[in-house]
Amino acid sequence: MSRLDFTVNVDGYLASNKYEVDEENAHIELVEDPDPAEFDKLVMVCPAALYQRDEDGAPTFDYAGCLECGTCRILCGDTIIAKWANPGPTMGVSYRFG
């Protein structure tokens, strides 16, 4: 059995994607006062790191770099996600490989 030793630069792959952000219609919206425990789940699992806490510990969220994977919708359902929809035509992420 052979062993492959290599590392993957995830940030590099994510940077190669193209995003068309719909500034007028957010495809993900959170409830007004999200439960801290539910929010912290998303801080840990969101592959695009959209859910974060600032230096004061306050929750921050920005849908602009969304990978449209649905992890937040599946993990937290409607506990803190008020709206989750695919972006409109020509909007959202375009994956680039290579």
CATH for 83: 3.30.70
Q: Which domain holds residue 31?
A: 26-94
The confidence score (pLDDT) of residue 67 equals 87
Residue 20 is predicted with a pLDDT of: 81
Report yes or no on 6 lying in a domain. Answer: no
User: Domain for residue 7, yes or no?
Assistant: no
- Residue 17: inside a domain, yes or no? no
Please count the structural domains in the chain: 1
Please count the other Cβ atoms lying within 10 Å of the Cβ belonging to residue 19.
15
**Domain membership flag for residue 38:** yes
Which of 38-47, 70-79, 80-89 has the highest mean predicted lDDT (pLDDT)? 38-47
Q: How far is 68 from 34, CA to CA, in rounded Å? A: 20
Counting Cα atoms < 13 Å in the Cβ hemisphere of 26 gives 11
Nearest to 65 by CA among 5, 17, 29: 17
